[in-house]
Chain A
Amino acid sequence: MRESEAIAQKYHKILSPLTHMRWPFLITAGLLSVIFLWSFFAFAWQYVWGLGVTGMGHPMSWTLYLVNFVFFIGISHAGTLISAILRITNAGWRTPITRAAEVVTVFALAAGPTNILFDLGRSMKFHWVAIHAQFKSPLLWDFTCIMTYFVTCVLFLYVLMIPDIAILREQFPRRRWIYQLLSLGWSGTEKQERILKKASAFLCIAVIPVAVSVHTVVSWVFGVQTQPMWHSTIFGPYFVAGAIYSGIAAIILVAAILRKVYHLQDYLQPLHFNNLGLLLLTMTLLWFYFTFAEYLTTFYGGGGDELAVFWAKVTGKYSPLFWLMVLFCFIIPFPVLAFRRTRTILGTSIASVSILIGMWLERYLIIIPTLSEPRLPYARGAYMPSWVEWSMMAGLSAGFVLALLLFSKFFPIISIWEMEKEDQEKTKREP
């Protein structure tokens, strides 16, 4: 296959992470593995002794694990969704970022529901949710939506990677068996191209409503409950907006790191960060709008129970976290993203880090204050995560990054065949 040889030569920078193994990679992967494995010990500890080793208690029975659940599902939101929207609208600048975005989605989506496994009193009976399904429970809707989304996203990522895997099949004789299997005999015939085009068009359309439904249903896990400041009709769109917000931030951060580490300056250009930055700016404003609407209506018309939670957040014991959230989600990123001069690669990266911290705090502040201020004024709770919970959170995040890292060592993180196709079209247009 001389053609694939030529393509591999042309895009050797994209393929170089697959061919080279250097010390920084080994050290990073080693460190992440240690943290990841540590969380297995923490989980075993919790499994043996019971959930009492966490900081939970009565009435604080949904805490850090649920926060991380919502947060990771949120991260999973932008990738495939944005990739699909950009494909449908045929945005030319999308090509170098879509693959990375789709990968972030898949791994974040694997990480999110894992938290539910940690949170269960009897984790090993997790499959009962499927066996003894009770469809009135929002958790079951959640389970259904997340599974659908996960399958769609894995397919999305995989289908659009098949031509690239075929290139790899020719380039890496030693890993040939696995690439051979995964490439499904792709040889780039016209018929295959046609099927791929059809499949990707179908997946693009299918994934958008699924993605919106997932975070809406995640929000309903809280929204349909009778608890003060959970029971809110705005939660569906509020969660979806927040999810896309944190998701875009994650993509920008991942893209910036990949660009630096794998020397992909030729492909991931300031233009991409500028465009993603503009998208992020829109979401910043949208986030502020939703948050403002949510808090204003509670403050203005809320009853005693709602206001107890409201004041606990705004001026009470959660106020430091609340104002940090406002700082990280709005006050820092807004000016950085608003000005063209600061909307650089560094600027958008800083804004993204700030947004990720802020959105984690937002999830924390949605879940925890409500439980600590229940309706009856007797059961009152304070919550401080224990070492087990922090370990699980660190392990999960490490596992997420490790998965991304390993993926980038086995598959090209930028879609080569799409780059090539774009290139060919460009030369056709400008002879």
Chain B
Amino acid sequence: MYRWGMVIDLDKCTGCQACVVACRQENNISFAGEKEAKLGRAKFWMNLVSEVKGSYPNVKMHFLPIPCMHCDRPPCTKVCPVAATYKNPEGIVAQVYPRCIGVRMCITNCPYTVRYFNWYEPNWPEEYQRGLNPDVYNRGKGITEKCNFCIQRIRRAKENAKKEKRRIREGEVVPACVETCPSEALYFGDLNDPKSQVAKFSKSRRAFRLMEELGTEPKVYYLKEGEWDEGK
């Protein structure tokens, strides 16, 4: 069984937001517009938050890409009254869009605030309409959506591997954010495979996870900034 996980090297992240754009493109995330975004209606399955320290010329910036943490003990799945969200056998916390009735308790119980709600019917500028990804389920107004590690890509890779009667190879499938990152700060793979890059990185001295004290056991690992080690 696979156990998908992600590693984000904060030292390599330049804050370019390419991951955010790629994610929107891959997963047909609708546009909120500036006005609505200010009211908190924008959706960022992959969100890049930044912190600015000091003032010019002594400025220090930190970036933190935040996808869904895909917790091993997710607080969001158990609170859904209609079982519209669950952790699949490969560890991905998935949302069943047609089942979701928009109670939003999963949103309030997510300590990472990475679940997003469709406040309106999805909307794109006309030029984008033809560029929508046909592999992604269309989400209407009134339901919750979230990062799913580009599950459509994983499914396709699994089908291919099954045809050839083998396991998915390292690097054969990556989510859009990982694929696009120009500084290669993002890694994706099978945490169950001890030889995979993510498994090695997750045991690195630099590795940490967000709010580990909550016991949610996230599968997204971060590598600390400003410290180097040999382990690759």
Contacts and interface: CB of A to CB of B under 8 A. Distances in A.
Contacts of B49: 378
B102 A121 contact: yes
Given A120-B102, A126-B101, A134 B119 contact: no
A154 interface: no
Contacts of A143: 81
A307 B109 CA distance: 18
Contacts of A378: 47, 49, 64, 66, 113
A137 to B, nearest CB: 4
Contacts of A128: 82, 99, 101
A375 B111 contact: yes
A50 B143 CA distance: 10
A227 to B, nearest CB: 7
Contact of B109 (A55, A121, A227, A379): A227
Interface in A356-389: 371, 374-376, 378-379, 381
Q: What does DSSP make chain A's interface, helix, strand, loop or mixed?
A: loop
Contact of B113 (A51, A59, A138): A59
Given A122-B143, A225-B75, A139 B105 contact: yes
A132 interface: yes
Interface residues of B, number: 43
Contacts of A227: 108-109, 111
B39 A61 contact: no
B153 interface: no
A132 B96 CA distance: 13
B99 A132 contact: yes
Interface in B94-113: 99-105, 107-109, 111-113
Contacts of A59: 40, 107, 113
A57 B81 contact: no
Interface string A1-20: 00000000000000000000
A378 B75 CA distance: 19
B227 to A, nearest CB: 22
Interface in A197-244: 221, 224-227
B41 A121 contact: no
Contacts of B75: 225-226
A77 to B, nearest CB: 23
A260 interface: no
Given A49-B120, A61-B104, A227-B108, A381 B82 contact: no
Contact of A62 (B39, B47, B108): B108
B120 A139 contact: no
Interface in B3-58: 36, 39-43, 47, 49
Contacts of B176: none
A265 B122 CA distance: 59
A125 interface: yes
A410 B66 CA distance: 59
Q: Taking each of B41, B82, B118, B121, which has the highest tally of chain A beta carbons within 10 Å of its own beta carbon?
A: B82
A51 B141 contact: yes
B40 A125 contact: no
B149 interface: no
Interface string B199-216: 000000000001100100
Interface string B138-177: 0001111000000000000000000000000000000000
Interface of B: 36, 39-43, 47, 49, 64, 66, 75, 78-83, 99-105, 107-109, 111-113, 116-121, 141-144, 210-211, 214
18 contacts: A50-B141, A50-B142, A58-B117, A59-B113, A62-B104, A120-B102, A121-B104, A125-B101, A129-B82, A132-B82, A134-B83, A225-B75, A225-B105, A227-B111, A371-B108, A374-B111, A375-B211, A376-B113
Interface of A: 49-52, 55-62, 116, 119-122, 125-126, 128-129, 132-134, 136-140, 143, 221, 224-227, 371, 374-376, 378-379, 381
